[in-house]
Amino acid sequence: MKVLGVLGSPRVGGNSDILLDQALAGAKGAGAEVDKVLLCQAKISGCLDCTKCNEAGVCAIQDDMQTLYPKILEADAIIHSVPVYFWAMTAQMKAYLDRWCALFDAEWRWHKAYWPQMKGKRIGLITLCGDANVATADPIVHSFKNTCEFTGLHLIGVVRASASARGEIAGNEAAKKEAYDLGKKAAQKE
């Protein structure tokens, strides 16, 4: 089993990163091979809607997303961790997700070459907000749920937590356990 962690926070070592590390520790503890991507250290442009990918399934933009496509395809599960910025996901996470369109054809079906690797892929989500009311993260959760429903991916779980100051989440044992358990679930065969 391969579990990919994708950090959508621009703050390495922050709350989203701490919980992602917990999830990856859970996956590793359950026997999975883990890998982690820091989107803030990658150069990923937004989708241009040039439609060049519709035919061949290859994005025309030559940037760091080209190195991420194989990781996405090879992973059995992908855990995304992203904080709430202005009631939505960060720009880094949005650009990365928008570039998934290269995996689809013009009818918004998985390209035939990718379907075997994407079919049933498990997706996990960790999202944090500075608001004590974790429902502030609902727009992000909604986006991931809709994406999974539309594409046939399997949303295995969502961890929502509240933290503001850098590293504050390290003191939240319940959130860390929830993230760890999400990682364990990601490493299990269904």
Residue 50 in any domain: the answer is no
Residue 189: Cβ-neighbour burial (10 angstroms; 0-12, 13-18, 19+): exposed
Domain with 147, as residue range(s), is: 2-44+56-186
In contact, 161 and 91? CB cutoff 8 Å: no
Residue-level pLDDT at 20: 98
For tokens 């990918």, name the residue: 53
Query: Which residue from 183, 188, 36, 190 is spatially nearest to 124, judged by alpha carbons?
Result: 183
Structural domains in the chain (count): 1
Q: How far is it, in rounded angstroms, from Cα 189 to Cα 54?
A: 31
- 162 has pLDDT over 80: yes
- Whether 65 maps to a domain, the answer reads yes
DSSP element (H, E) containing 11: none
In a domain, 51, yes or no: no
What is the tens place of the pLDDT at every residue in 31-79? 999 999 999 999 999 999 999 998 889 999 999 999 999 999 999 999 9
pTM given for the model: 0.96
112 falls within a domain? yes
List Cβ neighbours of 165 (8 Å cut-off, separation of 6 or more): none
* pLDDT one-digit tens code per residue, 72-106: 999 999 999 999 999 999 999 999 999 999 999 99
Tokens 């989203």, residue? 16
Residue 13 in 3-state DSSP? coil
Reported in sequence order, the residue ranges of the chain that DSSP labels E, i.e. its strands, are: 2-7, 33-38, 77-83, 122-129, 154-162
What pLDDT score does 189 carry? 82
> DSSP letter at 183?
H
Residue 150: pLDDT band with limits 50, 70, 90: very high
Residue 190 pLDDT > 80: no
Residue 49 lies in a domain: no
Q: What are the CA-CA distances from residue 173 to residues 55, 125, 157, 170 (Å)?
A: 48, 18, 18, 7
Q: Specify the pLDDT at position 56.
A: 85
Looking at residue 55, its pLDDT comes to 85
Task: For residues 124-142, give the mean pLDDT.
Answer: 96
Is the Cβ–Cβ distance between 4 and 75 less than 8 Å? yes
CATH of the domain at 40: 3.40.50.360
Query: 128 and 161 in contact (C-beta within 8 Å)?
Result: yes
User: What is the rounded average pLDDT of the residues 13-41?
Assistant: 98
Residue 67 lies in a domain: yes
Q: Spell out the alpha helix ranges (H) of 57-172.
A: 65-74, 91-98, 115-118, 138-151
